[in-house]
Chains A and B, each alone.
Chain A
Amino acid sequence: MSNNYFDIIRPGINSTFQDKGREHLYHIGIPFSGAMDNRNYLIANKLVSNKLDSAVIEFAYQGPHLKYSGAKINFAVTGDVIFKIKKKHTEIEGNCYESYQIENGDEINIISTNKSVYGYLALGGELDIKFQWDSCSVNTKANIGSNDGKKFNTGQRINLKKINSVKDIKKINYINTKIENIRVIKGTNFNYFSEVGKKNFYEKEFIVSKLSDRMGMRLEGPKIENIVNTNIKSEGLIKGVIQVPADGNPIIMLSDHGTIGGYPKIGVVASVDYDRLVQISPGSKIKFKEINLSDAETLFRLYEMETQNLLSQI
């Protein structure tokens, strides 16, 4: 029994524990999982003086409403999120990228993400949760990770093993940039598609479908016509692969993706754009732009330097 805990008054739509994810398990069918938007995950932990690879609460669209019992603790929210903090006599509107201190009886109410998908709630301390293969990350499709591999439910309790002694309030000026142009590297089956299909892929707009989740993002738009074979021999997949099934509608593999697939790969999203790709909400438009490997590597290095730079300012 823990003396410091949060009661879940409202779980939110898709709230789970996530961390850096798990490695070396693709060959038995287990993907990385982990926080979808890695930069916002890291910043959230830094704002509450946690180790950078600590577990956080990830939510999509509507987040959880939590009531706290215990000693004073810091928390921070990252992403583009509207949330409220309810104290004994007041209720305030919270700001992302700023840590807050709460005490016994206070509530955190994460109303919604704003024109984005994922947000992060980091608690300044160590959560009392189960790890599987060195990660707490919940994969709801295979019921792996903490909380029996399931998303939050009403009436559950989040226990803390310990609370950080450092309770400085931290803040950083950061605004999530939104992108419509997703940079992609040619896939291994690029030549399976007709000239018109390839042209449509790079020049036309696609709409993110409602049938998108942590596993994949389905797109609707001009059909990408296949002229070779709409099936390939099943083979490995990675995060960011864009598969095109026989119906011509592309699907982008995301962090909980299947590890093997049999649809041709037209492209792969450049790592530099992954954090921002996952934040594009259903109904929004996206466009693909071709990039070569060496530019993709350079841009990722710059993105990573920027992330480290942000973290060092906290």
Chain B
Amino acid sequence: MIKNISNLGDAAVYCDFGTEVNKSINSNVIKYFNSIKEKKFKGINNLTPSYNKLIISYDLKLTNFNEVKSYVESINVIDSITSVSKKIEIPVCCHEMFSMDIKRVEEKLNLSREKILDNFLNKEYFCYMTGFIAGMPFLGDLDKNMRVQRLETPRVKVPKGSVALTEQFANIYTFESPGGWNVIGNTPIDVFDSSKEDKPNLINPGDTVVFKEITLDQYKNFNEQ
């Protein structure tokens, strides 16, 4: 299932599952992720599954690339423990006060603001992975006519709650952070809660997400209800 294994620097193994992004490749990544996580190989200190890659970080004081690579090649992959996937509704306000890249998206896609929001809102998204910043979900897939590249220079600060697009994906900035995605709205809810150490993420890989548009007034009053 892994197409190629190489080193990423001297403290990580880079497992390539292919170049496509689809649920079938992603579920292979997750199977490996679960299997390796389960077995606790000496020195492995982090795993990062993504659409079609798995990065295995290790402590170079305890092991090295060849040991971890051989281990990955030898493991019996267990079928991922099927967790219950949830359907989550995320309120989003697309008022111009939040949608700072809507003009750019309109120009790049040659679509009107209304058409873009219409496409974006009337859709169910699959969560492929979480990360970049704590709890940020990577959601797909946007239709072919909705795909736009990252900003040429990433922003130093993207506001917390920003809902943004890049290529076939949407995401939510769970914290203020640097970032290069095209921001089209903002959600008032907390998608990450560090006080819940067991389950800090509202959205997890495998979950389904829908966005529901709210007005600026609803946004402002959201946390006072």
Contacts and interface: CB of A to CB of B under 8 A. Distances in A.
A152 B23 CA distance: 44
B50 A142 contact: no
Interface in B179-211: 180, 192, 194, 197, 200-201
Contacts of B49: 27, 236
Nearest to B40: A24
B47 A26 contact: yes
A37 B21 CA distance: 37
Contacts, number: 174
Contact of B153 (A26, A240, A247, A271): A247
Q: Which of B11, B14, B61, B177 has the most CB of A within 10 A?
A: B11
Contacts of B7: 185, 293
Interface stretch (B73-81, B105-113, B124-132, B213-221): B124-132
B175 A141 contact: yes
B80 to A, nearest CB: 13
Q: How large is the interface on B (under 10, 10 to 19, 20 to 34, 35 or more residues)?
A: 35 or more
Interface residues of A, number: 54
Given A246-B153, A247-B152, A293-B65, A28 B135 contact: yes
Contacts of A23: 45-46
B46 A24 contact: yes
A185 B8 CA distance: 8
B64 A28 contact: no
Given A185-B9, A300-B60, A230 B149 contact: yes
B46 A32 contact: yes
Interface in A110-141: 132-133, 139, 141
B100 interface: no
Nearest to B138: A234
Given A238-B11, A241-B8, A231 B149 contact: yes
A30 interface: yes
Contacts of B11: 238-240, 271
A262 B52 CA distance: 13
A245 to B, nearest CB: 6
Q: Which of B53, B65, B138 has the most CB of A within 10 A?
A: B53
A269 B136 contact: no
A245 B180 contact: yes
Given A238-B12, A240-B9, A29 B60 contact: no
B130 A29 contact: yes
A34 to B, nearest CB: 11
B101 interface: no
B154 to A, nearest CB: 6
B9 A268 contact: yes
A215 B134 CA distance: 13
Interface of B: 6-12, 14, 19, 21, 33, 37, 45-55, 57, 60-61, 64-65, 129-136, 138, 149-150, 152-154, 156, 166-167, 169, 174-178, 180, 192, 194, 197, 200-201
Q: 8 closest Cβ contacts across the A-B interface? A: A236-B48, A268-B9, A236-B55, A29-B131, A260-B131, A142-B134, A259-B131, A296-B10
8 contacts: A143-B175, A235-B55, A236-B55, A236-B131, A238-B57, A246-B150, A293-B7, A297-B64
